[in-house]
Chain A
């Protein structure tokens, strides 16, 4: 359903992705991990057609994004939802207007009652019932992300993409967002792709983990297999953030482990 085959892209002289090949299974959640600047967000932008690969093939829901026309691209995007890093809400609109925005732009436009019902339903599923008339500028970081998520799911997409869902949030709000993603995953049963550098969050929400380093995929495997990886980048990432016991269970590192 989502595949990248030998994808490379560079900005000027900076090679961001080199020969990346990956397939994200349908109906499952894949988290793409990596340090800042590893090229994670570029993958997401390739998947929604905001960037075009210099070489290789990017295919989403059967559409080859390299050769798709503008119309085909917009048709595909109507089947996707995306939560942006800073939610990318429109400050001049209320919460309800933001969430309703994708529906308002549909042709034919659903009637006002249906839009209001679906906004209420989407806000309820992200735990913000009754927030319709609030101004976006009055919301906290976590609430903005929830509104962004409500906007992403209102069109009932087939694929949901998350760009750093935990960035800029405190640990408790971060955990709440992870829990929300898990709930969504169960309720919607669709394909999720999560870009993150938060390994703990990724372990909570993902079925598959994909580690990106210097524009290349160094590990891509189901969680348990990923945890056994001997690749130094993967080990470095895991050892800083989590501890794995003899039975393969995951726990936070102890203070001694953190302080070395």
Chain B
């Protein structure tokens, strides 16, 4: 019985999310976006997330290099670490880690902010003042994420590669020229473009899910906490699943 209720609950949530997304899309294509708010959001999402994102990307790069080195060394293939970093880091890890960080930092902010606005009747106040809350709250966040997340992803890829190169050359004593040659075999500019494209999809997922969770928050501090938690968990799970589908479509042939 409980399983049945859970299944029905999941389907009704998907239905509500569909209605939410439809309402947003209707507003997005009918009205001119709020440009100033979009730029403010872009600053908040982009500039303020960059330091933490670069730090994490750099340390992902260092660990990838170290693990790759120790895995390939017994087979005498340590020269190929660059290729490993290109394949695993550039194609897969950097975009999904950037998305996870954005979900954790920006998605939680979005969900909790909108949830608090819901509780304090600020969203109702927007409607009563004849301002569409989807236009005012969701559109700038989605547009800002679409603008900023590809750039953040590419910067985090570069951050990861620089850290990876430093560990490979200065700590593990590999040849720098060779590292770069193998790296170029593992990942090309096209892979960077795929990474950027993936990040746009992840950004849309994170924003829509986080805003949806905020809009549908239950009252009270527990409601806000639960909305924030759902936002980050759902965004991360959906992004990982979508990442697999995109990778399969792009690289699976």
Binding site for B on A (CB under 8 A): 45, 48-50, 74-75, 77-78, 80, 82, 84-86, 88-90, 101-102, 105, 151
A61 → chain B, closest Cβ, in Å? 14
Contacts of A45 in B (CB 8 A): 124
Beta-carbon contact of A80 and B128 below 8 Å: yes
Beta-carbon contact of A88 and B132 below 8 Å: no
A95 → chain B, closest Cβ, in Å? 15
Contacts of B127 in A (CB 8 A): 48-50, 77
Beta-carbon contact of B131 and A86 below 8 Å: no
Beta-carbon contact of A84 and B125 below 8 Å: yes
Task: Determine which of B120, B124, B131 lies in contact with A105 in the assembled complex, contact meaning CB atoms within 8 Å.
Answer: B131
Known: A77-B130, A102-B130, A151-B129. 20 other contacts (CB 8 A): A45-B124, A48-B127, A48-B128, A49-B127, A50-B124, A50-B127, A74-B132, A75-B130, A77-B127, A77-B128, A82-B125, A82-B128, A84-B124, A84-B125, A86-B120, A86-B121, A88-B120, A88-B122, A90-B122, A101-B129
Beta-carbon contact of A78 and B130 below 8 Å: yes
Complex Cα spacing A89 to B122, Å: 7
Give the interface size class of chain B: 10 to 19
Flag B120-145 by CB within 8 Å of A: 1 or 0 each.
11101101111110000000000000
Tell me whether chain B's interface is mostly helix, strand or loop, or mixed: loop
Complex Cα spacing A90 to B120, Å: 10
A70 → chain B, closest Cβ, in Å? 8
Complex Cα spacing A226 to B52, Å: 65
Contacts of A151 in B (CB 8 A): 129
Binding site for A on B (CB under 8 A): 120-122, 124-125, 127-132
Known: A86-B120, A88-B121, A88-B122. A50 touches B129 (CB 8 A): no
Beta-carbon contact of B121 and A85 below 8 Å: yes
A168 → chain B, closest Cβ, in Å? 13
Beta-carbon contact of A102 and B129 below 8 Å: yes
Contacts of A90 in B (CB 8 A): 122
Contacts of B132 in A (CB 8 A): 74
Contacts of A77 in B (CB 8 A): 127-130
Contacts of A82 in B (CB 8 A): 125, 128
B233 → chain A, closest Cβ, in Å? 27
Complex Cα spacing A88 to B128, Å: 11
Complex Cα spacing A105 to B129, Å: 9
Contacts of A101 in B (CB 8 A): 129
Beta-carbon contact of B130 and A88 below 8 Å: no
Contacts of B131 in A (CB 8 A): 102, 105
Task: Determine which of A74, A84, A85, A86 lies in contact with B130 in the assembled complex, contact meaning CB atoms within 8 Å.
Answer: A74
Contacts of A89 in B (CB 8 A): 122
Complex Cα spacing A78 to B127, Å: 10
The contact sample of 21 A-B pairs, CB cut-off 8 A, is A45-B124, A50-B124, A50-B128, A75-B130, A77-B127, A77-B128, A77-B130, A80-B128, A82-B125, A82-B128, A84-B124, A84-B125, A86-B120, A86-B121, A88-B121, A90-B122, A101-B129, A102-B129, A102-B130, A105-B131, A151-B129
Residue of B nearest to A48 (CB): B128
Contacts of B121 in A (CB 8 A): 84-86, 88
Complex Cα spacing A130 to B173, Å: 68
